[in-house]
Amino acid sequence: MSDVAIATPLTELVGVRHPIVQTGMGWVAGPRLVSAAANAGALGILASATMTLEQLRSAVREVKSRTDAPFGVNLRADASDATDRVQILLDEGVKVASFALAPNRELIVRLKAAGVIVIPSIGARRHAEKVAAWGADAVVVQGGEGGGHTGSVATTVLLPQVVDAVDIPVIAAGGFHDGRGLVAALAYGAAGVAMGTRFLLTSDSTVPDAVKARYLTATVQDVTVTTQVDGLPHRMLRTELVDSLERSGRTAALLRALRHAAAFKRESGMSWTGMVRDGLAMKHGKELSWSQVLLAANIPMMLKAAMVDGRPDLGVMASGQVAGLIDDLPSCAELVDRVMAEAHATLQRLPSAQ
């Protein structure tokens, strides 16, 4: 483990050695990656949205068997079984709860009453202000460079807005992969950085080798934003499949979404009633049309096709723009050590104030 350490409000809040977060990527951030990130001194986040309740409990216990370091679990605040998932975190003594969408006030209060640190991800200043007022302990701020569902405002514009707006630690996400980026984020006032694509492209990641190879050959121009997968802006690698999706008509897209919804029902064990409840929550929370809600059924199974089954020709590969700058597969320990060494060297090179 690196001898270089930088103490920030993030490291003090969650008790990790380094101000680095491995994000909760669906089908990717499983027990092996999370425990490797945690053992390297970063905050590993387990992705739970694609797990059943039983799989989530088992995954949490596996992480705990692999590491004594703090780690977190990422939850969907709008899921119909969100309260059941929160109870698993409480039962298993998970230290951090992160959220892809802003949790409601009641969830935050319940988690904090049990001593769990709450860290939502947000994409706008007003959302950060809202969750901070509700008692969130920190926020992850993802700019438009980030992978998966994303906004249009760059990290360098969004990050200082949020830092100036809230009094809780702010973690920068979107475009980070090395020590120079960490130093830049700290200079903006962030308490650390969160990285998804960079941790996906490690030897500890369970993503199939053929899929990792596609990421490693991508240029910055090969990472695009499309709305044709689920009706919302989604940043991913541009592939032949993405091109075909963008050429397909609305009817074909909806039929494909129906097939994927049925497949996800089988995979997750959810009932149609539960899926409809989740759809209603999503529709209300994001003001989506019913066709957009149906299109959202594409995402879990199309991600699984690539990230689990190793079929980039049949699935999609969520990706930050930073994939175009990554060309190797270090272990999590090697990656974190490298980032911290680069951060130290970068700080040493900065001119002294006169």
d(CA 44, CA 245): 33
Across residues 83-95, what is the average pLDDT?
A: 97
d(CA 225, CA 221): 11
C-alpha torsion sign, points 61, 67, 68, 71: negative
In tens, the pLDDT along 272-304 reads: 565 555 555 555 555 556 655 665 666 777 888
In tens, the pLDDT along 203-245 reads: 999 999 999 999 999 999 999 999 887 777 999 999 887 887 7
Q: Where are the domains of the chain?
A: 9-207+326-349, 219-307
Q: Order of strands, edge to edge, in the sheet holding 234-237? A: 148-149, 234-237, 223-226
Q: For the domain 9-207+326-349, what is the CATH code?
A: 3.20.20.70
Q: Which of 68, 39, 330, 64 is nearest to 200 (CA)?
A: 330
What phi and psi values does residue 106 have, to the nearest 5 degrees?
-65, -40
Contact 31, 62 (CB under 8 A): yes
Mean pLDDT (the chain) is: 89
Contact 315, 306 (CB under 8 A): yes
